[in-house]
């Protein structure tokens, strides 16, 4: 079993780079609620970004902080304004100068999933990551029909069970 988690709400500010943001108080409460939905005995893995691995802490010890699950690296994204439109366009196929190539994101994410599934053995694997990276990987791996809508519908936090054999993704109930 593979569950992908989008991190809970961070304490964001333009003075701190996004990859260093930690969870807000609201985010910690959301992470605690999310922990109730996750399977016991799971291997918990987060990206190397604090907001991701902190999202899983309420569910148990985070076994690994794996940078392959980090968000898309990008430069030139505006702090305010059209950033949501830029992100949605990117996950649906638009190229933006200074943004990590989509295929590179999907490849690194896939390598991380493959390795972490092997490390989990028979236990469920829960990976806390980020909206764009998750969307790109799911699109490459199972062919999301509408990646833009999938990305736009993600919440803080959010969780989806992925069945790689069937090529399906299912939103976890109760969120």
Where are the chain's structural domains? 2-6+30-171
Rounded average pLDDT over 11-32:
96
Give the pLDDT score at 79: 87
The pLDDT value recorded for residue 116 is 98
To the nearest whole number, what is the mean pLDDT of the chain?
A: 96
Integer Cα distance of 68 and 116 in angstroms: 11
- Rounded mean pLDDT of 7-18? 95
Pairwise CA distance, residues 48 & 50, whole Å: 6
Q: Whole-structure pTM over 0.85, yes or no?
A: yes
What's the average model confidence in pLDDT over 99-127? 98
Average pLDDT of span 80-92: 95
SS3 2: strand
Residue 173 has pLDDT above 80, yes or no: no
Residue 36 neighbours by CB distance under 10 Å: 9
Class of domain 2-6+30-171: alpha beta
So what's the pLDDT on residue 30?
Answer: 97
Question: Would you say residue 175 has pLDDT above 60?
Answer: no
Q: Which residues contact 63 (CB under 8 A, 6 or more apart)?
A: 43, 44, 45, 119
pLDDT of residue 174: 60
């Amino acid at each position: 079993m593979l569950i992908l988690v989008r991190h809970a709400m961070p304490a964001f500010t333009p003075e701190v780079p996004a990859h260093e943001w930690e969870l807000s108080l609201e985010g910690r409460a959301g992470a605690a609620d999310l922990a109730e939905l996750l399977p016991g005995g799971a291997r918990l893995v987060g990206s190397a970004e604090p907001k991701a691995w902190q999202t899983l802490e309420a569910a148990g010890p985070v076994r690994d902080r794996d940078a392959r699950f980090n968000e898309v690296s990008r430069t030139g994204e505006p702090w305010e304004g059209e950033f949501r439109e830029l992100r949605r366009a990117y996950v649906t196929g638009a190229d933006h100068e200074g943004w990590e190539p989509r295929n590179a994101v999907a490849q690194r994410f896939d390598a991380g999933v493959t390795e972490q599934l092997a490390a989990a053995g028979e236990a469920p694997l829960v990976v806390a990551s980020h909206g764009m990276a998750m969307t790109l990987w799911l699109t490459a791996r199972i062919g999301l029909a509408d990646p833009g809508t999938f990305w736009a519908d993600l919440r803080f936090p959010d969780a989806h069970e992925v069945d790689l054999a069937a090529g399906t993704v299912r939103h976890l109930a109760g969120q």
